[in-house]
């Protein structure tokens, strides 16, 4: 008798963790602007954004989003347009997100640390005619910006929405850059004067199933990222999943938001989701991990999303000494990478000893599924797992580079499907086809490139990566191929390899190290000096190799491929030996 293979995508064992009511939940067919208006009706006086202790209510958030919509409309913005935004999380780009959404236009969020060349590439790719830019980067980029064909450049300052007292102190200690408004350059205040908070002052586009609500970038700031087009359904599916996950979300709770809105996790899981649940979103535009204890003690957030390294800093902070009570934690969200058993036990022991009722809510996801894919809540903990699929997601394991599902407890490629799937990569159909693949079940699945397995209860476990991706302690993604492409441009380089090596200063994460094989007769010291200059000029500081090593010959495997794992293991072993010797 033939045995029928049991498949997670069909059985969905994780549904045992959701109530009958939750299992009937559906993603509302509405824009993200409509979502925050509807969900907060009657609670407009509640605090939506806590920005340096300035309390911005939901009424103000909605009014200023309406104002932004009208101001953008007066600049000629219409449905289908894309507006670029290179800032961290301030109130003004948040107003822009929802204001543009009301018009049926799209905010494309860029890391302001991108090079002028990278910004220009996305301006061209999106045909954006307007750029919102944080003032601290304007002087560095202003000459290049004038070559990009932009009709308007709107400069946003971190202190625009600060409390007056704090703004005075900040300007006294460090004067804000002086912005000369001329030509196509204006400040946010000048821009906002042309708007109106009247909701009828601008056109409301309404919901479209495949309309793009926002565009975020993959891969941090390394090389040329891809633009991830996120739908209304993607945003709202994440909010609906967390609303029905069993966690107690109440309108008097705070969410500590440390993740920049130029990432999917920042704009979806740390902004829109808290707004949909009526929480007070405490925005930290520039997060200093050394102050994590201060932030937690001051704001007492019921919910937050950080990486394990931040929790280690919290555990060792002076604020947590003498048994500081953390019973206010409902979800201490953790993502960015997997943890080993020792680190997991240490951090969960710390939380328990300080009164937290639940362990870390570890999770897994990617930009292409609108941030979160899995997590566990309410103590449904299983060691070394990254939780079970969110309510609106289906996750299963497939034989790599195929559509063949492999069943339970078998390693393979992690794939996801559901309403949070991206619409695709911005003007990049080839890469979209590589990641979004239609399976025999008729559904389009996102292929993650990560290797893992699922147990019979629906818990997901991460084992490694198909692609050579490097993840530092803070969850940024670094793509070695992009760095190798830069190094390979040097005339003296015969071959090169960039590998991830252990970060000995944090509980998790890796740093990039470069290995180069040079052409015969080359001055190695001169080449190394050139390469270091190239790193500084072309790469974000997180992506710059911490070491560049010259080899006589690049080690190869049987088929002639570079032995990346061997290089990484060798470097780690040498560093461990050196540290042991130094320790005596």
Dist. CA 498–CA 545, nearest whole Å? 8
Which pLDDT belongs to residue 219? 63
Q: Would you say 189 and 159 are in contact if contact means Cβ atoms under 8 Å apart?
A: no
The pLDDT of residue 178 = 81
User: Torsion over CA of 407, 410, 416 and 417, rounded to 10 degrees?
Assistant: -10
pLDDT average, residue stretch 28-50: 98
pLDDT at 535: 93
Do the Cβ atoms of 478 and 513 come closer than 8 Å? Answer: no
Q: Is the pLDDT of residue 301 over 50?
A: yes
What percent of the chain has pLDDT above 70? Answer: 95
- When pLDDT is cut at 50, 70 and 90, the band that residue 575 belongs to is very high
Mean pLDDT across the stretch 7-34?
A: 97
Residue 378: the pLDDT is: 82
Provide the pLDDT confidence category of residue 175 given band limits of 50, 70 and 90: low
Query: How many alpha carbons lie under 13 Å from residue 547 in its C-beta half-sphere?
Result: 18
Q: Report the predicted TM-score, pTM, of the whole model to 2 decimal places.
A: 0.86
Handedness of CA 424, 427, 432, 433 (dihedral sign): positive
pLDDT for 340: 66
Q: Residue 211: its pLDDT value, please?
A: 97
Evaluate if residue 338 carries a pLDDT over 90.
no
Could you give the CA distance from residue 312 to residue 29 in angstroms, rounded to a whole number?
Answer: 40
User: Is residue 330 within 8 Å of residue 358, measured between CB atoms?
Assistant: yes
What pLDDT does 221 receive?
35
Smallest CA-to-CA distance from 33 within 369, 371, 257, 275 is with 275
Q: Is the pLDDT of residue 531 over 80?
A: yes
What pairs with residue 51 in β-bridges?
54, 283
Mean pLDDT of the chain: 92
Q: Which residues contact 298 (CB under 8 A, 6 or more apart)?
A: none
Please check whether residue 375 is in contact with residue 390, taking contact to mean a CB–CB distance below 8 angstroms: yes
pLDDT at 220 over 50: no
Whether 53 shows a pLDDT value over 90: the answer reads yes
- pLDDT per residue as tens digits for the range 260-289: 999 999 999 999 999 999 999 999 999 998
Model confidence band, residue 176 (pLDDT cutoffs 50, 70, 90) = low
pLDDT at 118 over 60: yes
Residue 381: exposure state from Cβ atoms within 10 A (0-12, 13-18, ≥19): middle
**Paired residues of 230 in beta bridges:** 214
C-alpha span between 94 and 100 (Å, rounded):
10
Closest CA to 147 of 126, 119, 125: 119
Query: Coil, strand or helix: which one is 66?
Result: helix
């Amino acid at each position: 008798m033939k045995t029928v293979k049991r498949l997670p995508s069909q059985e969905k064992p994780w549904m045992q963790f959701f109530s009958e009511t939750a299992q009937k939940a559906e993603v509302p067919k509405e824009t993200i602007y409509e979502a925050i208006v509807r969900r907060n009706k009657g609670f407009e006086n509640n605090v939506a954004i806590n920005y340096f202790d300035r309390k911005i209510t939901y009424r103000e958030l909605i009014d200023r989003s309406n104002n932004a919509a009208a101001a953008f409309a007066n600049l000629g913005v219409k449905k289908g347009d894309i507006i670029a935004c290179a800032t961290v999380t301030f109130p003004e780009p948040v107003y822009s997100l929802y204001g543009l959404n009301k018009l049926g236009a799209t905010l494309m969020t860029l890391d302001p640390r991108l090079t002028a060349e990278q910004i220009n590439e996305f301006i061209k790719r999106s045909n954006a005619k307007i750029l919102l830019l944080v003032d601290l980067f304007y002087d560095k980029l202003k000459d290049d910006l004038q070559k990009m064909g932009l009709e308007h450049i709107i400069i946003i300052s971190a202190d625009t929405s600060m409390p007056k007292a704090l703004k005075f102190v900040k300007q006294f200690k460090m004067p804000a850059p002086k912005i000369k408004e001329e030509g196509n350059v204006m400040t946010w205040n000048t821009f906002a004067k042309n708007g109106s908070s009247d909701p009828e002052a601008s056109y409301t586009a309404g919901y479209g199933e495949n309309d793009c609500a926002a565009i975020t970038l993959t891969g941090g700031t390394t090389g040329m990222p891809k633009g991830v087009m996120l739908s209304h359904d993607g945003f709202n599916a994440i909010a609906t999943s967390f609303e029905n996950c069993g966690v107690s979300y109440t309108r008097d709770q705070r969410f500590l938001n440390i993740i920049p809105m130029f990432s999917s996790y920042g704009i979806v899981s740390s902004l829109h989701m808290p707004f949909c649940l009526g929480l007070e979103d405490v925005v930290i535009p520039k997060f200093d991990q050394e102050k994590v204890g201060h932030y937690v003690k001051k704001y007492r957030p019921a919910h937050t999303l950080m990486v394990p390294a931040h929790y280690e800093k919290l555990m060792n902070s002076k604020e947590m000494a003498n048994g500081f009570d953390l019973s206010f934690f409902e979800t201490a969200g953790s993502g960015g990478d997997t943890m080993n058993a020792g680190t997991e036990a240490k951090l969960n022991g710390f939380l328990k000893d300080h009164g937290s009722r639940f362990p870390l809510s570890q999770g897994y996801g990617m930009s292409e599924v609108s941030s979160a894919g899995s997590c566990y809540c309410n103590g449904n903990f299983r060691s070394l797992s990254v939780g079970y699929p969110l309510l609106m997601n289906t996750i299963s394991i497939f034989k790599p580079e195929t559509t063949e599902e492999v069943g339970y407890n078998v390693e393979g490629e992690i794939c996801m499907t559901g309403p949070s799937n991206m619409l695709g990569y911005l003007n990049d159909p080839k890469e979209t086809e590589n990641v979004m693949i239609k399976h025999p079940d008729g559904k389009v699945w996102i292929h993650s490139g990560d290797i893992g397995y699922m147990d019979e209860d629906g818990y997901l476990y991460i084992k490694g990566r198909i692609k050579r991706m490097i993840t530092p302690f803070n969850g940024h993604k670094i793509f070695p191929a992009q760095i190798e492409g830069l190094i390979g441009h040097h005339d003296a380089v015969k071959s090169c390899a960039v590998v991830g090596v252990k970060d000995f200063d944090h509980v998790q994460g890796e740093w990039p190290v470069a290995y180069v094989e040079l052409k015969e007769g080359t001055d190695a010291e001169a080449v190394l000096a050139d390469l270091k200059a190239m790193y500084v000029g072309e790469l974000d500081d997180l992506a710059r190799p911490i070491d560049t090593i010259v080899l006589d010959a690049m080690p190869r495997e049987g088929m002639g491929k570079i032995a990346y794992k061997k290089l990484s293991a060798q470097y780690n072993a040498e560093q461990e030996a050196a540290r042991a010797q130094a320790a005596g």
